[in-house]
Structure 1
Amino acid sequence: MSEDLGTPVLDNHLHLDPEHGRGMAAVDDFARLGGTHLIVVNKPSWHLGPVPSDAEAFRSVFETTIEATREASERLRGRAWPVLGVHPGLVSRLVDDEGYDPAAARDLMREGLAIAAEFVDEGRALGLKSGRPHYDVSDAVWDASNAVMRRAFEHGAELNCAVQLHSEASEDLTELAEWAVDAGMEPTQVVKHYASGRLAGPTPSVMCEKDWLRTAAERGEPFVMETDFVDDPEKPGMVLGPKTVPRRVRWLLDEGYDDAVATAHVETPRAVYDIDTEATLSESASE
């Protein structure tokens, strides 16, 4: 029997790999501890197939994620939504391993984003993911990566959808939020994946370390919570497991941070993604 924490419980960023990883067993672990909603982000394309050589190669990766998300929804008291895009680390795979020049890598990654945007436009995905490398790269690769990210913001503005960002660790990414605004996005719809408890600019998706969560809760600003569960059997201890968000929600409630839980699991998801975790929970419970 699943625990009921008395609130929607959303993991804002995790991966599912039903073929190679734990897949639905991870979803069941999340649900048993009281988890109700998931944002399922596609794994890097080269983890679900070969390094893409053309834009259409991204499509099967996106379809795999959508199908996993559909199966996850059937196992949750709430539901799951897919977020699709091109991992910024692909630029290094293309340039360093496949012999692309940075401009050609940029163009292929933009084409992949355009296909992800098609899925959002069709209502099959909730938002996009993009970003730039969090490690040192050449100036040309950095510029190419920023150009890809700016294109994601253009799609986000056109589709009125959120863009999740992989980027360098920082407590001030105001510049990236400003780029999104320049493209026509609402800054609240820019979400920094793997954030600490304090961030200027985008909405922080806070990794579930207790110190970071306490900081986010006491700031009183919008935030969401995530594990970045990678669902890779070769890296079982990497990042955080699927039980972590519900466990941290219980801890926050025990510590008296009820308002922060409502912020992270009801109010911010509504502002960022236009989703209603309370309504979807009650609809599921009534079926």
Structure 2
Amino acid sequence: MIDDDRPVLDDHLHLDPDNNRGIDAVRDFVRVGGTHMLVVNKPSWHLGVEADAGEDFRPVFERTLEIVEAASAELPGRAWPVLGVHPGLISRLVDERGYAPAEAREIMRGGIDVAAEYVESGDALALKSGRPHYAVDDDVWAASNAVMRRAFERGADLDCAVQLHAESSEDLTEVAGWAEDAGLPAHKVVKHYASGRLEGPVPSVICDKDELERAAERGDPFLMETDYIDDPDRPGAVLGPKTVPRRVAWLLEEGYDEAVRNAHVETPERVYGIDTESTLESA
């Protein structure tokens, strides 16, 4: 348990509004010192949506906004929504539903465009995109990269961050370069489920102690996450909602006070333009 009033942000987790712990997970987070969270919409098919066009994602985004509002009511700080299209959808569209990769690309780009409407209106903080973290055919890979580039374009238009779900790597400078080519600075690109060392995007480090120590020692901007998926079939996966506060307490015990401020105050401000201190004080 963290014994002082400091922001503690989980940069990437999911909350199921209907079928699992939902707000109970938020309460667990708060009980051990959590204050802020970025809630990413669950994959569209997990919420019963089989998209055939961009507009079909809107119910997914609306349900996410509802659970984020409910989460904010429980938090000492607040929650923000991150909306977009899970890159694994392309395999579902192509392999299970018979779409050509180019058709799947356009459906997913349409979903990014709808998500961008919520950022533009101020209802969402950032976009989510990426590419499969597993082997796919060349045409599926190319289509996925095209979807990700669309997210960078929209992020540049809106001056908002883009969270990426992508393959494990410690060097994604090429991807960060694509963002910069689109007009989105590399520091507004976040690699979710990252290791403690990453070139290119800002790492959102999964809360493994070794990886957090690497990030802390490195001294570069980083964030902390659980990727909690709130799935009734996988309780506690990927990491439970109490993990970020507990890892913050451990980092403080190990003397990494500056790293904690980096991850929970300075980097959120730099990447997302959010002030975790003032939102905590006003709450």
Question: Above 0.5 in TM-score?
Answer: yes
Secondary structure at the aligned position of 1:13 is classed as strand
Counterpart mapping for 1:7-18 below 5 A:
7-18=6-17
Partner of 1:130: 129
State whether residues 208 and 244 of structure 1, in contact with CA within 8 Å, keep that contact through their aligned partners in structure 2.
Answer: yes
Alpha-carbon separation, structure 1, partners of 2:182 and 2:35: 33
Partner of 1:92: 91
Alpha-carbon separation, structure 2, partners of 1:55 and 1:223: 32
Partner of 2:203: 204
Counterpart mapping for 1:228-239 below 5 A:
228-239=227-238
How many residues end up aligned between the 2 structures?
A: 283
Query: What is the Cα deviation at residue 237 of structure 1?
Result: 3.9
Alpha-carbon separation, structure 1, partners of 2:218 and 2:5: 23
Partner of 2:65: 66
Partner of 2:219: 220
Partner of 1:45: 44
State whether residues 162 and 190 of structure 2, in contact with CA within 8 Å, keep that contact through their aligned partners in structure 1.
Answer: yes
Alpha-carbon separation, structure 1, partners of 2:270 and 2:4: 22
Counterpart mapping for 1:167-186 below 5 A:
167-186=166-185
Residue type of the alignment partner of 1:102: P
Alpha-carbon separation, structure 1, partners of 2:232 and 2:62: 21
> Structure 2 length as normaliser, TM-score?
0.99
State whether residues 171 and 199 of structure 2, in contact with CA within 8 Å, keep that contact through their aligned partners in structure 1.
Answer: yes
**Is structure 2 residue 143 aligned with structure 1 residue 144?**
yes
Q: Residue by residue, what CA displacement relative to the aligned partner does 1:139-191 show, whole Å, maximum 9, x if unpaired? A: 00000000000000000000000000000000000000000000001110000
Q: Residue by residue, what CA displacement relative to the aligned partner does 1:78-121 show, whole Å, maximum 9, x if unpaired? A: 00000000000000000000000000000000000000000000
Query: What is the Cα deviation at residue 7 of structure 1?
Result: 1.4
Q: Residue by residue, what CA displacement relative to the aligned partner does 1:247-278 show, whole Å, maximum 9, x if unpaired? A: 00000000000000000000000000000000
Alpha-carbon separation, structure 1, partners of 2:5 and 2:169: 33
Secondary structure at the aligned position of 1:193 is classed as strand
State whether residues 94 and 105 of structure 1, in contact with CA within 8 Å, keep that contact through their aligned partners in structure 2.
Answer: yes
Partner of 1:118: 117
Q: Which 5+ residue runs of structure 2 have no aligned equivalent?
A: none
Query: What is the Cα deviation at residue 53 of structure 1?
Result: 1.7
State whether residues 196 and 213 of structure 2, in contact with CA within 8 Å, keep that contact through their aligned partners in structure 1.
Answer: yes
Partner of 1:282: 281
Alpha-carbon separation, structure 2, partners of 1:7 and 1:178: 34
Secondary structure at the aligned position of 1:74 is classed as helix
Alpha-carbon separation, structure 2, partners of 1:74 and 1:237: 23
State whether residues 3 and 32 of structure 1, in contact with CA within 8 Å, keep that contact through their aligned partners in structure 2.
Answer: no
Query: What is the Cα deviation at residue 51 of structure 1?
Result: 1.7
Query: What is the Cα deviation at residue 3 of structure 1?
Result: 5.4
Q: Which 5+ residue runs of structure 1 have no aligned equivalent?
A: none
Query: What is the Cα deviation at residue 32 of structure 1?
Result: 0.5
What percent identity do the matched residue pairs reach?
Answer: 67
Residue type of the alignment partner of 2:133: H
Partner of 2:242: 243
Alpha-carbon separation, structure 2, partners of 1:98 and 1:200: 36
Q: Following superposition, which runs of at least 4 residues in structure 1 exceed 2 angstroms of deviation?
A: 2-6
> Structure 1 length as normaliser, TM-score?
0.97
What CA RMSD, in Å, does the superposition of the two structures yield over aligned residues? 0.9
Query: What is the Cα deviation at residue 57 of structure 1?
Result: 1.4
